[in-house]
């Protein structure tokens, strides 16, 4: 941990211990701040998978912030398996977690386990992905998911000057996992920018995988956000629809794990960075993708500084433990079918080749050596 980060974390921990101490005295407990933290701040953190760098960072960062503040933390990863996530959450509740932080594998199926958690008065924070169909989710912290897609769409629009182009420019759109509530927001944000150009013929989709409206996004969704599935889908599109020297000009990829698969497919079809290489979008600033950006194999990524999200959730937990009102900045957007979940939305930002040093490396998000610099 850098010196500055450590100081920030310690400062945050100090404030947290103070609020816990005041909470303990409010409730008549005789414990000190640290001891009270162990009792009152028992957090179960449930992350979807270790197979993607971002979730490892998310989990570890939140765990260390909370532990430095004296909380007990049980961090679990569900290998992208719904049943595993449900039983991990059940164990956390049985083990006394009074706060649950859940990044759902499948946002549709957690209602029963959260109902159990509520019987034990647990407070539930949906982390990054909304949990649907349940009144038992209290807060949601995420990056502005619609904006992620919008940044990808606008990037394509600006780079190709679509407003003044006549086309036809070929594009292949992809969407994220159909069970992830975020995926439809990412797609909608991008498609609201791009669909008018498809309708006017400036953009064409040779594979025909072109949702007529945002609601049809799942028809092009890649289950589990899997790189290998994105790769074989791109293989199919290229071999069936790009024959006789036709080239794809743009690939709308909602995130980095799909982009990696798409880039592998392009490579095996003979595409190489340079004038004829398509624009490809991404999201997350995973190291392999940042390296691809530096090598000209990916055009951009939408960076979500997961440290900020972890800190936001840490702040929410502080407020919950202290009995304070929890700070949110959106009470309209995220309707989960049972309620509009009070949310805190953070700002994502575009990273291109020229930003890698200033935004990602100088801020300590990744190390220069990890991307070959």
Give the nearest distance from C-beta 143 to ligand BGC in angstroms.
7
Go through 289-315 and write b for each residue having 16 or more CB atoms within 10 A of its CB, e for each that does not.
Answer: bbbbbeeebbbbbbbbbbbebbbbbbb
Q: How far is the CB of 179 from ligand BGC (least distance, A)?
A: 10
225 part of the interface to ligand BGC, by CB under 6 A: yes
Q: Does 58 bind ligand BGC (CB under 6 A)?
A: no
Interatomic CA distance for residues 227 and 233, integer angstroms: 10
Interacting residue with ligand BGC among 134, 210, 283, 312 (CB under 6 A): 283
Residue whose C-alpha is closest to residue 125's, from 94, 92, 148, 147: 92
Enumerate residues 6+ apart whose C-beta is below 8 A from 73.
Answer: 43, 44, 45, 62, 63, 66, 67
Give the residue with the Cβ less far from ligand BGC, 234 or 309: 309
Min dist CB 176 to ligand BGC, Å, is 6
Residues 65-124 that bind ligand BGC (CB under 6 A): none
The residues in 287-346 that bind ligand BGC, with binding defined as CB under 6 A, are none
CB of 58 to ligand BGC, least distance (A): 9
128 counts as binding ligand BGC under rule CB under 6 A:
yes
Instruction: Tell me how far apart the alpha carbons of residues 225 and 205 are, in angstroms, rounded to a whole number.
Output: 22
**By CB under 6 A, is residue 182 in contact with ligand BGC?**
yes
Q: Whole-number minimum distance, CB 330 to ligand BGC, in Å?
A: 16
CA–CA gap between residue 18 and residue 299 (Å, rounded) = 46
CA distance 164 to 197: 11
Nearer residue to ligand BGC within complex by CB, 207 or 301: 301
Q: Does 52 bind ligand BGC (CB under 6 A)?
A: yes
β pairing state of 279-280 and 343-346: unpaired
Residue ranges in contact with ligand BGC by CB under 6 A? 52, 54, 128-129, 180, 182, 225, 255, 257, 283-284
């Amino acid at each position: 941990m850098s010196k500055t980060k450590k100081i920030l974390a310690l400062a945050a921990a100090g404030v947290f211990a103070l609020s816990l101490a005041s909470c303990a005295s409010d409730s008549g407990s005789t414990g000190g701040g640290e001891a009270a933290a162990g009792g009152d701040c028992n957090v179960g953190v449930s992350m979807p998978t270790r197979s993607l760098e971002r979730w490892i960072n998310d989990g570890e960062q939140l765990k260390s912030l909370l532990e430095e503040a004296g909380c007990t933390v049980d961090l679990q990863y569900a290998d992208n398996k719904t049943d595993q996530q449900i039983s991990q959450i059940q164990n956390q509740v049985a083990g006394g977690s009074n706060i649950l932080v859940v990044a759902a594998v499948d946002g549709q199926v957690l209602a029963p386990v959260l109902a159990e958690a509520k019987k034990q008065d647990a407070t539930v924070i949906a982390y990054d992905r909304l949990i649907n169909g349940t009144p038992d989710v209290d807060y949601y912290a995420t990056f502005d998911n619609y904006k992620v897609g919008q940044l990808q769409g606008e990037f394509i629009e600006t780079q190709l000057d679509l407003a003044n182009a006549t086309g036809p420019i070929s594009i292949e759109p992809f969407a994220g996992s159909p069970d992830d509530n975020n995926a439809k927001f990412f797609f909608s944000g991008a498609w609201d920018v791009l669909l008018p150009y498809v309708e006017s013929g400036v953009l064409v989709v040779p594979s025909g995988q072109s949702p007529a409206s945002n609601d049809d996004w799942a028809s092009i969704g890649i289950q589990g956000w899997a790189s290998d599935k994105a790769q074989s889908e791109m293989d199919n599109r290229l071999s069936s629809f790009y024959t006789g020297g036709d080239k794809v000009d743009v690939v709308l990829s909602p995130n980095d794990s799909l982009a990696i698969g798409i880039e592998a497919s392009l490579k095996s079809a003979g595409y190489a960075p340079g004038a004829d290489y398509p624009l490809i979008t991404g999201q997350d600033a995973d190291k392999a993708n940042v390296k691809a950006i530096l090598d000209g194999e990916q055009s951009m990524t939408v960076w979500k500084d997961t440290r900020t999200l972890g800190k936001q959730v840490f702040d929410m937990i502080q407020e919950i433990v202290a009995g304070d009102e929890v700070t949110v900045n959106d009470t309209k957007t995220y309707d989960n079918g049972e309620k509009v979940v009070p949310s805190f939305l953070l700002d994502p930002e575009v990273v291109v080749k020229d930003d890698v040093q200033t935004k990602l490396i100088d801020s300590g998000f990744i190390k220069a050596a990890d991307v070959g610099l």
